[in-house]
Structure 1
Amino acid sequence: MRVLAAMSGGVDSAVAAARAVDAGHDVVGVHLALSRAGGTLRTGSRGCCTVEDALDARRVADRLGIPFYVWDFSERFRDDVIEDFVSEYRAGRTPNPCMRCNEKIKFAALLERALELGFDAVCTGHYATLVDGAGGRELHRSSEEAKDQSYVLGVLDADQLAHTYFPLGDTPSKSLVRAEAERRGFSVATKPDSYDICFIPDGDTRGYLAEKVGAARGDIVDRAGEVVGSHDGAHAFTVGQRKGLKIGRPAPDGKPRFVLEVRPVDNTVVVGPREALAVAEISGRRFSWAGAAPERPEEDLRCEVQVRAHADPVPAVMRVADGALVIVPDEPISGVATGQTAVVYLGTRVLGQCTIDATVSAAPVGGRT
């Protein structure tokens, strides 16, 4: 099998590429250049896909004896990930840029080019498992739940799964991957994992958004509409946020306030008690199936739903109604924001996902807390 190994410059993709070579595949390594900013360097464990990462990936490829290329995907990344991120915040939603990158870049633009060049599959260092079931290839959780990355891969469809290769899916722990990298003599064996948003390597998301969206003073109000504070831009807030509100006076009951809603049209942030964050239903019109779709998607189906990469899955019922994927959890979920991604599981299998467009609160509206 001809395999294009996406090499980020980290330890996971390095070992994944090495295992692909060991399996006898014809492997070519590629690093995606996602920024044209000259001199961009990684700082500690912040950011990824930098000049430093490209050099690390090349060293691994040289050690493996495989061809290696750097492909410039910066324009696609800007259009499909960065601009989407900014526009979603401008609209008062909370996007997940890693989901969008997987959907639009790593398993769309990259896979498209790989197939055009005659490759059979794209290999990455994600921790997830592929299973060939009766209805085609299925995406499942990895063997190690603490590192499981199936959530951020929930956007992959059947055609993409058919040309995807995850060599690390059955690895019980990240420490074993690092130990393997060290045995192989990879310089990235002890390299820190990247975190934060890759195109905001300093971690200052609020400052980044203020520059892109613009700062404008607005009101912080309670659920009854009474002004309880002010802010310098609604884009800097997200549903469920507690810190950084800078409200000068406490709630009448003395309990902490949380962000309940962000209204970009009038630049208003609504706050209230923790219990008001409870959501009884979520839905999204932008949904997809990871492999075969349910036989009767319009009928209620028992499942589990996960709304954040590191959240616990919650028992729920899902169905497709009026062109939207509707998910009703058995118990309310706290702090769900529009723009987030809800991934639906059947056991370990990823069934599909939706970008959350609307939520139904489980708490009655009223009061001034």
Structure 2
Amino acid sequence: MMTRRFTVRGRARVATGAAAIGTLIAASLVSPVLAGESSAATRTVSPVSPSPEKPGGTLKAAGSKVFQPVGLPDGFRPEGVTSGPKRTFFAGSLADGQIWTGSLVTGDGRRLTAGVAGRSVRGLEWDKRSNLLWAAAQDGATGVVLAIDACSGKVRHRIEVPGAQFLNDLTIEPNAVWVTDSRVDRLTRIALNRDTGHYADWFNFIPLKGAWPTDGDGNRANGIDTLWDGALLLNHSTAGGLWRVDPHTGTATSIPVKGGPGITGGDGLERKGHTVYVVRGSGQNQVAVLKLHHNWRGWRASWRTALSSPDLDVPSTATIVNHTLWAVNARFGVEDPQNASYRIIPLRKKVNSGL
């Protein structure tokens, strides 16, 4: 496999960056003042113990370290989750677009950005070059992509996307952010300065075509990642399956999946090396694990396993940190979501691929 320019979604993908950034973010989790917040605006959520009715809620990760589920504020209604340096995480709210950040090790957290009336945040990804947290979001009826300073919480770029209906997930390459719209069959490509990772002041659309299924009223393009041949990897929430998309033409081709129940749906999508993780790809409380293969005949995938836990409750997205996959519980359909509890759940991800 060719060496990727990024590591993983969560994803600190760009191989450049300064160690000072990681130090500053780690310090900001301890001292809200360093992050540009007053102590009065800071709220801490302590680590959450496994529910008594769900024994074995924590799972042993590589290195025999046991991680516990991480609590989010009640009523937060998370959808997107990603990770930064030193096992920090960022989660976005569907309720008001608030961003919550904290430590996956200690479970402590704080508010990075305040909520905004009418705003919802879905997909998230952190870029190591710029220390920007990119978010697929909605401001009322307007689809927007936000770039947020991961230390201060200040919005550095706000990009309105004309005609957007349901901006859902995104992935970062050295010179672009790619965004899916689950109700419009196109990808939004936001140009980046390759050196700085900041917005290059233009964007364009790539219509999805070829074998891409466009029928139905449900969500279509959802999770997105990159492939090592420069193409994009998508899932389809309604028709299911994995799809390779040519970034220049938008032509989509199906990636056949051998074995297992197949990919029948899907929300968040993660790739590390040859391994792909599809959140709710084959079950409401599962993460499907596939291995990718590529040769002169094209792309294919083989079923490996499905990750689950008694603590999973309709996960939406996930992020990989070292040897652990962390999935956020969106709890879609829960009674009284405005007051419900929400958590990020650790899952073992060590499978036959060696990850």
TM-score when normalising by structure 1: 0.29
Q: Larger radius of gyration, structure 1 or 2?
A: 1
Judging by fraction of residues, say which structure has more strand.
2
TM-score when normalising by structure 2: 0.30
